[in-house]
Structure 1
Amino acid sequence: MRDRKTRSGKDAETIGIEALSFLASDQDLMQRFLDVTGIEADEVRTLVSHQSFFVGVLDFISAHEPTLMTFCGFAALQPDEVSNARRKLDAGW
């Protein structure tokens, strides 16, 4: 059985939720995410039940190194833990 937790002790789902919380804590960043993805703000509640949504959140954060590094500080993670969480969520964990 594969280990679901990262070095920080967080599983991929937790990292995805923390990533969304990070976006939501910054109105400009959240708006940019919504604009880039075409998602409407009122759709987010429905989409959080899908792992693929969190893959997109982590992709968005990872696409801009300063945002990634700020998120890593926010969530006490290393950048490779974010990419590993994204990969695990994409694999259906």
Structure 2
Amino acid sequence: MSVLEAADSLRDSVSIAVDIYLNSVNNRLNQIMKVLTVMSALMLPLTLVTGVFGMNFVVIPGLHHPQGFWWTMGGMAALALLLLLVFRRYRLL
């Protein structure tokens, strides 16, 4: 085997090793992006509810009810739990 053939073989080996490393880094990045996407999808409806209840309107359902705050918190928790179960069902989490 000549020196040039050995150099080509080593270059190919290094190229394959770099490709394997970059693929593993890319897979880890994809896993992180998946978790961040699920977290943002969980927070989106909760942010919408808090945004609506944060507006200065006179008539908001449950605003003057003694248990209105707890109903809203319970609804938001139920919505987050439902979304979490859906994500687990479809193996997104």
Instruction: Tell me the TM-score normalised to structure 1 length.
Output: 0.34
Q: Structure 2 length normalisation: TM-score?
A: 0.34
Rg bigger for which structure? 2
